[in-house]
Chains A and B, each alone.
Chain A
Amino acid sequence: KQEVTQIPAALSVPEGENLVLNCSFTDSAIYNLQWFRQDPGKGLTSLLLIQSSQREQTSGRLNASLDKSSGRSTLYIAASQPGDSATYLCAVPPIRGAQKLVFGQGTRLTINP
């Protein structure tokens, strides 16, 4: 059974710092991995999608890497800003070919001005 773990559960850093959020999954036979952002009381916003054949994807100050063999992904945020404060979730399909996603519990990020 695919399990997704995100550590730490919460992280607080000063504005301007670079930071890394971690995601691990137990079944490495994944099709892709997605990172989402969720603001309080809101739905999820897609940030990055990495296909299993890729090692990383970049969007602005965000960079996501994928190491399938070790069952890990990281989300790197450069030059953090208070507006980056949110919960960040990663998700993978439970088995090869499945259309649904299994989510981690998320990392609640706070950027202090």
Chain B
Amino acid sequence: GAGVSQTPSNKVTEKGKYVELRCDPISGHTALYWYRQSLGQGPEFLIYFQGTGAADDSGLPNDRFFAVRPEGSVSTLKIQRTERGDSAVYLCASSLVLAGGPGELFFGEGSRLTVL
């Protein structure tokens, strides 16, 4: 596709359930990022992939959060035993990789997660 695609756009789940959020980046973008945004705040970094590997997962809040990118394209963010505090918009972005720092980031529309 032309842009970054995220599914689902909205997800309502019950506390304790397992959730998967999917991101399809721009074709050819090696770098893929997951961010989380709460209402009225800027996005907060969760994890960065370069190719298939998680190059930086320092933003994952705890071991209930996990992300994969098995073929270096589509990525899935997985949240186990969801808690009400996990409610937020989960944003995916992709970019080209630059030697010294981040390239221009292109974001998807986000997946809004609500944990009841």
**Which positions in A face B, CB cutoff 8 Å?**
4, 30-32, 34, 36, 42-46, 49, 89, 91, 93, 96-106
Contact = CB atoms under 8 A, between A and B. Distances in A.
B107 A102 contact: no
Contacts of A30: 101
Number of chain B interface residues as a range: 20 to 34
Given A100-B48, A100-B56, A100-B59, A31 B100 contact: yes
B45 A44 contact: no
A32 to B, nearest CB: 6
A97 B52 CA distance: 20
Nearest to B103: A49
Interface of B: 4, 6, 31, 33, 40-45, 48, 50, 55-56, 59, 91, 93, 97-98, 100-110
Contacts of A102: 45
A99 B105 CA distance: 10
Nearest to B41: A105
Interface centre among B31, B33, B44, B101 (most CB of A within 10 A): B101
Contacts, number: 72
Given A43-B109, A45-B107, A100-B33, 6 more contacts: A32-B101, A43-B108, A89-B43, A99-B56, A100-B48, A100-B56
Nearest to B108: A43
Given A45-B107, A46-B105, A46-B106, A100 B45 contact: yes
